[in-house]
């Protein structure tokens, strides 16, 4: 009898866990499908980076444009732009521009990665239905499939129950850093010239261009 009860208990946990994953996957699939239909998007966000051990606690406002595999992002003193082949990192404080071939590592700085980070390298689990800024949101946790080779420990997403749009992401890294991104504005399918994603030296007089 005890063995039967134990077996039923384990099975109920397994079914519940599968149900929670299925629920979160359905929500994420809907969000991914919506993102894929967009030809372009523009996003604004408030970000906070905190690490108690190192004393880091910084807040900045950021923005980004995305068009296919091209992106333009600005965060604090740093501007990043990529035409899909080359990436330019502009550091205003140093008056320097670092030019390199676009790679997977640089792709991680693409604002689109924030909006689709759940699509690869993570398993997911539905946490709860909560509230954020007075809005009902689905709270979903992401865990790296390969923890030993991942920078992240946990990522928590807050997705609008009504619009199924991403509202907030909290990323916890293995070194104890917590990065919070609160999306404050989102515009899709707005016309953007390709010139926005290519570095124009004339706009940065006096900046040193350093090619990798």
One digit per residue, the tens of pLDDT, for the chain of length 212 reads 544 444 444 444 434 444 567 899 999 999 989 888 999 999 999 999 999 889 999 999 999 999 998 999 998 889 999 998 999 999 999 999 999 988 755 445 678 888 888 998 999 999 999 999 999 999 999 999 998 888 899 999 999 999 989 999 999 999 999 999 999 999 999 999 999 999 999 999 999 999 98
Distances (CA, A) of 192 to 7, 172, 183, 203, 209: 58, 33, 20, 18, 25
pLDDT at 205: 94
CB 124 within 8 A of CB 141: yes
SS3 38: coil
Write out the E strands in 83-193: 86-91, 96-101, 122-132, 135-144, 152-160, 166-173, 178-188
H helices of the chain, in order, are: 2-36, 104-107, 111-116
Identify which of 51, 73, 47, 72 has the alpha carbon closest to the alpha carbon of residue 60: 47
Rounded to 10 degrees, the C-alpha dihedral 180/185/186/191 comes to -130
d(CA 134, CA 136): 7
Q: Which two tokens stand for residue 190?
A: 């707005």
What are the Cα distances from residue 172, in Å, to 50, 60, 63, 128, 178? 10, 18, 21, 19, 5
Contact 124, 25 (CB under 8 A): yes
In the numeric block, the tokens 């499908």 are attached to 33
- For residue 74, the model assigns a pLDDT of 92
pLDDT at 76: 85
pLDDT of residue 42: 94
Angle at 75 between CA 74 and CA 81, to 5 degrees: 35
Q: Which pLDDT score, from 0 to 100, does residue 8 have? A: 41
> What CATH class has 2-73+116-191?
mainly beta
pTM assigned to the model: 0.82
How far is CA 67 from its chain centroid?
16
DSSP secondary structure letter of residue 207: P
Q: How far apart are CA 40 and CA 5, in angstroms?
A: 54
- For residue 107, the model assigns a pLDDT of 47
């Amino acid at each position: 009898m005890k063995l039967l009860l134990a077996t039923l208990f384990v099975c109920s946990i397994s079914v519940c866990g599968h149900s929670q994953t299925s629920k979160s996957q359905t929500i994420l699939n809907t969000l991914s499908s919506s993102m894929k239909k967009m030809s372009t998007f523009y996003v604004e966000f408030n970000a906070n980076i905190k690490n108690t051990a190192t004393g880091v606690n910084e807040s900045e406002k950021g923005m980004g444009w995305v068009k296919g595999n091209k992106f333009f992002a600005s965060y604090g003193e740093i501007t990043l732009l990529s035409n899909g082949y080359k990436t330019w990192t502009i550091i205003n404080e140093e008056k320097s521009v670092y030019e390199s071939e676009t790679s997977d590592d640089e792709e991680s700085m693409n604002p689109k990665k924030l909006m689709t980070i759940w699509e690869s390298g993570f398993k997911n689990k539905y946490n709860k239905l909560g509230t954020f800024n007075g809005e009902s949101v689905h709270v979903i946790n992401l865990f790296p499939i390969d923890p030993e080779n991942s920078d992240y420990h946990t990522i928590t997403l807050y997705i609008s129950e009504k619009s199924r749009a991403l509202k907030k992401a909290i990323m916890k890294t293995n070194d104890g850093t917590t990065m919070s991104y609160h999306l404050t504005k989102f515009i899709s399918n707005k016309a953007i010239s390709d010139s926005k994603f290519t570095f124009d030296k004339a706009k940065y007089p006096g900046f040193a261009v350093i090619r990798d």
